[in-house]
């Protein structure tokens, strides 16, 4: 009996998560287009539905009804699997994310590890897609994506270890619990033994931009150099899945930053403030969407970096800083805590 309820619960969670991921990814496209429009003094989509709100559905219908073209000479199995690999791990990660104190599909003790394990599959999909396309631009793009991901995964993990050190847990809920309270308790400020908090936060944010291949680090799909990069040869829903996967990854990254640095579902105000002071899922979502907006704004503001300056940034600035940060925090935790 328990098992049956568990299964039903599990299925419900699964449906909810896939729905959440899909809707977020689809509407992020709308936010991006609408946002880009207004940033550039245009209106963005406005014809399909009020304020163009039905545009993502129209786009989806169009992508799904398009013919799936498999160019001659591609490595067919790899070519087909790559877009799936872009989307599926992204959905899987949502399983471990705690949106509020109780709203989590699977509360896993090693949640952080699970996230990084699945997130690292993403680069594999880019590599597979680029390689299988048998297109020179796609291959260059795949090579870029791999070197970029390798370079940025190191500081990303080192900084995560710092947070784990000060929080004392790999469980995402525990990490949020350790930041309980108003905003000065959160990890982005020099609290809880991590006195380089703000720098860690900014560096983590940069790494997350690079890991999700977002501008200004979108070297893999630098359209003025590599046309569309690894998905040059993809059309129809193959492209659609890459696209959705990219946006799902943005949601995940933002959610992760909210959990690690911005106090998860806790309100930024002290609890004595009426109404605004209470914690809840809305605070989580608000923080997450603000971060996403920042990502969108960055994309439409900056030019793209080159590969060498991207790698320089990682090896010369981020990795030394994050290692120093880790040592300092470890020392502080050891001597103070």
Partner 1 sequence: MAGYFTNILSGTKSLLVGLSITQKEFFKKPVTLQYPWESLEMTPRYRGHIQLIKDPETGSHKCISCGMCQRGCPSNCITIHSEKQEGVKGKVLVKYELDFTKCSLCGQCIENCKPSAIEFSKEYNLASTRKEDFHYDLLKRLKEQK
Partner 2 sequence: MSSQALSQNNERFEVNLGPQHPATHGVLRVKLLMDGEYIVDAEPVLGYIHRMHELMGENRTWAQFLPNMGRLDYLSALSYNLGYVELVEKMAGIEVPERAEYIRVITTEMNRISSHLLWFGAFVLDLGGFTPLLYAFTDREEILDLLESVTGARLTYCYYRFGGCYNDVEDEFLSGCLAFIKRLRARMPMYHNLVTKNVILRQRLERVGPVSAEMCRKYGATGPVLRGSGVNYDVRKNEPYSIYPELDFDVPVYHEGDSMARYMVRMDEIEQCMRIIEQAIAKIPSGPVMAEKVPKMIKPEPGDYYHAVEAARGTFSIRAVSDGKNQAYRMKLRSPTFSNLSLFQEASKGMLLADALALMGSLDLVIPEIDR
Interface with partner 1 (CB under 8 A), residue from 51, 282, 302, 324 = 302
Yes or no: say if 197 and 189 are a contact pair by the CB < 8 Å rule: yes
Interface with partner 2 (CB under 8 A), residue from 4, 72, 224, 335 = 224
The interface partner of residue 136, options being partner 1, partner 2, none and the CB cut-off 5 to 8 Å by kind, is partner 2
Q: Which stretch binds partner 2 (CB under 8 A): 19-27, 100-108, 134-142, 252-260?
A: 134-142
The answer to the question of residue 216 lying near partner 2 (CB under 8 A) is yes
Calculate the alpha carbon distances from 215 to 136, 176, 212, 259, 303 in Å: 22, 29, 9, 23, 8
- Would you call the peptide bond into 24 cis, given omega within 30 degrees of 0 as the criterion? no
Nearby residues of 24 by Cβ (< 8 Å), 6 or more positions away: 247, 248, 251
Cα–Cα nearest to 262, from 170, 184, 159, 156: 184
DSSP-derived secondary structure letter, 271: T
In angstroms, give the least distance from the CB of 201 to partner 1: 13
CA–CA gap between residue 172 and residue 110 (Å, rounded) = 8
Interface with partner 2 (CB under 8 A), residue from 14, 22, 31, 39 = 39
The answer to the question of residue 301 lying near partner 1 (CB under 8 A) is yes
The answer to the question of residue 36 lying near partner 2 (CB under 8 A) is yes
Q: Give 65 or 224: the residue with its C-beta nearer to partner 2.
A: 224
CA–CA gap between residue 4 and residue 7 (Å, rounded) = 5
Q: Which stretch binds partner 1 (CB under 8 A): 14-22, 150-158, 177-185, 300-308?
A: 300-308
Cα–Cα nearest to 31, from 16, 53, 9: 53
Question: Helices 111-119 and 76-94, interaxial angle, to 10°?
Answer: 160
The answer to the question of residue 306 lying near partner 1 (CB under 8 A) is no
Q: Give 160 or 232: the residue with its C-beta nearer to partner 2.
A: 232
Q: Give 31 or 108: the residue with its C-beta nearer to partner 1.
A: 31
In angstroms, give the least distance from the CB of 225 to partner 2: 5
Size of site (CB under 8 A) for partner 1: 15
Interface with partner 1 (CB under 8 A), residue from 300, 319, 323, 328 = 300
Q: Cβ-count burial of 320 within 10 angstroms (0-12 exposed, 13-18 middle, 19+ buried)?
A: exposed
Q: What residues from 304 to 333 belong to the interface with partner 2 (CB under 8 A)?
A: 304-309
CA–CA gap between residue 75 and residue 73 (Å, rounded) = 7
The answer to the question of residue 300 lying near partner 2 (CB under 8 A) is yes
Sign, Cα dihedral of 281, 282, 283, 286: positive
Q: What residues from 138 to 177 belong to the interface with partner 1 (CB under 8 A)?
A: none
Task: Return the structure tokens found at 29.
Answer: 């496209």
The answer to the question of residue 38 lying near partner 1 (CB under 8 A) is yes
Q: Kindly calculate the radius of gyration of the chain based on its CA atoms and give it in whole angstroms.
A: 20
The interface partner of residue 123, options being partner 1, partner 2, none and the CB cut-off 5 to 8 Å by kind, is none
- Interface residues with partner 2 (CB under 8 A)? 36, 39-42, 136-137, 140, 143-144, 215-216, 218, 222-225, 227, 300-309
- Interface residues with partner 1 (CB under 8 A)? 35, 37-43, 46, 297-298, 300-302, 317
């Amino acid at each position: 009996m328990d098992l049956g309820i568990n299964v039903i619960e599990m299925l419900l969670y699964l449906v909810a998560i896939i729905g959440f991921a899909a809707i977020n990814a689809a509407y992020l496209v709308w936010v991006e287009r609408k946002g880009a429009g207004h940033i550039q003094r245009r209106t963005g989509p406005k014809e399909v539905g009020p304020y163009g709100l039905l545009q993502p559905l129209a786009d989806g219908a169009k992508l799904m009804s398009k013919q799936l073209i498999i160019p001659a000479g591609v490595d067919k199995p790899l070519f087909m699997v790559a877009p799936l690999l872009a989307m599926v791990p992204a959905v899987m990660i949502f399983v471990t994310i705690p949106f509020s104190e109780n709203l989590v599909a699977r509360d896993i003790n090693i949640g952080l590890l699970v996230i990084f394990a699945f997130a690292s599959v993403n680069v594999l999909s880019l590599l597979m897609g680029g390689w299988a396309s048998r297109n020179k631009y796609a291959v260059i793009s795949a090579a870029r994506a791999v070197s970029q991901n390798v370079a940025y995964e190191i500081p990303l993990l080192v900084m995560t270890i710092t947070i784990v050190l000060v929080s004392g847990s790999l469980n995402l809920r525990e990490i949020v619990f350790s930041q309980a309270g108003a905003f000065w308790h959160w990890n982005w400020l020099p609290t809880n033994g991590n006195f380089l908090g703000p720098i860690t936060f900014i560096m983590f944010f940069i790494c997350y931009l690079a890991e999700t291949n977002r501008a200004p680090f979108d070297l893999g799909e630098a359209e003025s150099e590599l046309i569309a990069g690894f998905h040059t040869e993809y059309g129809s829903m193959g492209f659609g899945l890459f696209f959705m996967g990219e946006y799902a990854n943005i949601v995940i990254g933002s959610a992760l930053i909210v959990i690690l640095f911005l106090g998860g579902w806790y309100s930024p105000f002290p609890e004595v403030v009426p109404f605004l002071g209470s914690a809840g899922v809305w605070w989580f979502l608000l923080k997450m969407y603000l971060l996403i907006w920042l990502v969108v704004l960055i994309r439409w503001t900056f030019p793209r970096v080159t590969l060498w300056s991207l790698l320089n940034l990682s090896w010369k600035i981020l990795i030394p800083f994050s290692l120093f940060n880790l040592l300092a925090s470890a020392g502080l935790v050891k001597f103070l805590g």
